[in-house]
Amino acid sequence: MDLELGGKVVLVTGGSDGLGAAVARRLVREGAKVALCARGAERLAATAEALRAEGGDVLAVQADVSKAWEVEHFVDAAHARWGRVDALVNNAGTAAARPFASVSDADWEADLQLKLFAAVRASRHVLPLLGEAGGGAIVNVLAIGAKTPGAQSTPSSVSRAAGLALTKALSKELGPSNIRVNAVLVGIIESGQWVRRAQELGKSVETFQAEMARNAGIPLGRVGRAEEFADVVAFLLSPRGGYISGAAINVDGGLSGAT
């Protein structure tokens, strides 16, 4: 299926590794022009170079999305490079889950800045640019804990739930401007952190991930692949997903009890 993303300009926060890099790779293969940002300059440069080696038109901007001016600089740099912006993927974020009593005010603020306010600021800053382009799409990358928070899941589950509410609110408000807003909620997906954890335990990645899937009770019996997640995001960004807005799609192998 041609997703009709050729020539579209897509911004991806947290795009230097893991899920963000997988999304960027899928978009490049669809012919999109991709702007990436991340805090780590070395890994960001390496990812951008790998994408360019595949023929991608890629812009890499070092930015900490928890800082407002750096988010704005990232968006402005992409617009200056290509003269338009068609879509945004708010992907930046890290896992942070522990007992509620151990989470300080500073921890809460840092998590909300990274996972919620970064998405708020990036979305707000791209709005006029999406309007200039005649519409577009925003995808917020969340986690299944946004729908089904568990014990000892703060602060992440709360920040992600706020992201879910933001998605729905924006989809209602921006729909008349032909701007679609959706969320993708991930379960256990392969990533660099699991590779490192397997190495720490002296196990192969395959063995470790199989144990994770079994222990978590994933109905499909395996950990998800980053490419499977990226396929969903690319579809939601594309004109082929043009009548989908306000949706929160689980990519979790059936793990979550919520639809």
Whether 21 is in a domain gets the answer yes
Which structural domain range is residue 111 located in?
9-189+225-251
Q: Tell whether 95 and 194 lie within a shared domain.
A: no
Lookup result for tokens 């947290």: 14
Q: Tell whether 68 and 100 lie within a shared domain.
A: yes
pLDDT of 242 = 97
Q: Tell whether 60 and 33 lie within a shared domain.
A: yes
Whether 231 is in a domain gets the answer yes
Cα(60)–Cα(185) distance, integer angstroms: 25
CATH no. for residue 58? 3.40.50.720
- The torsion angle over the Cα atoms of residues 180, 122, 156 and 217, rounded to 10 degrees, is 40
| Burial 134-171, CB ≥16 within 10 A → b, else e | ebbbbbbbbbbbbbbbeeebbbbbbbbbbbbebbbebb
Whether 256 is in a domain gets the answer no
pLDDT of 37 = 97
* pLDDT bracket for residue 73 (50, 70, 90): very high
Cα(174)–Cα(135) distance, integer angstroms: 9
Q: How many separate domains does the chain show?
A: 2
Residues 21-32 have a mean pLDDT of 97
Q: Tell whether 195 and 148 lie within a shared domain.
A: no
228 or 94: which carries more pLDDT confidence?
A: 228
The pTM score is: 0.95
In tens, the pLDDT along 54-72 reads 999 999 999 999 999 999 9
Q: Tell whether 32 and 141 lie within a shared domain.
A: yes
pLDDT of 194 = 78
* pLDDT bracket for residue 259 (50, 70, 90): confident
Whether 259 is in a domain gets the answer no
pLDDT of 48 = 98
Q: Is the pLDDT of residue 167 over 90?
A: yes
Q: Tell whether 199 and 171 lie within a shared domain.
A: no
Element (H, E) at 50: helix 41-53
Q: Tell whether 164 and 207 lie within a shared domain.
A: no
4 or 196: which carries more pLDDT confidence?
A: 4
**CB-side exposure of 87: number of CA atoms within 13 Å?**
31
Q: Tell whether 203 and 99 lie within a shared domain.
A: no
Q: How many CB atoms lie within 10 A of CB 48?
A: 23
Cα(197)–Cα(212) distance, integer angstroms: 11
